[in-house]
Amino acid sequence: MAAYPYANSQGSDYPLTKMNFYVSCAEISGTAAFSEVTGIEASVDVIEFRQGNSASLAPVKIPGLVKHGNVTFKMGYILDSAFKTWIQECVTEQRKAAYPRHDLSVELIDINNGSPQQLVTTNQGTRIWVLKNAWVTKYSAPDLDAKNSDVAIETMEVAYEELVIPN
């Protein structure tokens, strides 16, 4: 039996770490330096129904609508970016006829064989969550503090309609 490269001594696979990921959008050129992505989730409403003549006193549970929470993206502040143009188009008071919705991809990069040898600039693997018809619902500018030398972090919150989950 050949050894699986990600297997440990107990015969189970090593889990992927969450520190290396890549965020992209096919319709938006350029990149942004994202440091954190949180809130990718989906839930299904539960509908309880009981017929009046049912022999059971317990209701039947039926799956209802699928709902998605908003996803928060944190990125280092940069001077010019296509992502920032998209954010501006979404949160501006002057709306265009077509609201700018895009599909966002978040890929978890597998580094079990060691760190990548070069900067990752495209989605390559199969561990990609796709947020369909996403748009920015909230933007937060970086906190400013003259006594601190931390990186300036911008935050955008994104709503989306459908989630494609990697398998």
Q: What is the pLDDT of residues 30-69, one digit of tens each?
A: 667 788 999 999 999 999 999 999 999 999 999 999 999 9
Q: Residue 80's pLDDT is what?
A: 74
Q: Quote the CA–CA distance of 167 and 91 in Å, as a whole number.
A: 34
What is the maximum span of the chain, computed from C-alpha positions, in angstroms?
Answer: 71
pLDDT: which is higher, 12 or 35: 35
Cβ count within 10 A of residue 148: 8
pTM of the predicted model, to two decimals?
Answer: 0.78
Domains of the chain listed by start with CATH number: 21-164 (2.30.110)
Q: What is the pLDDT of residues 62-103, one digit of tens each?
A: 999 999 999 999 998 877 788 888 888 899 888 777 788 999
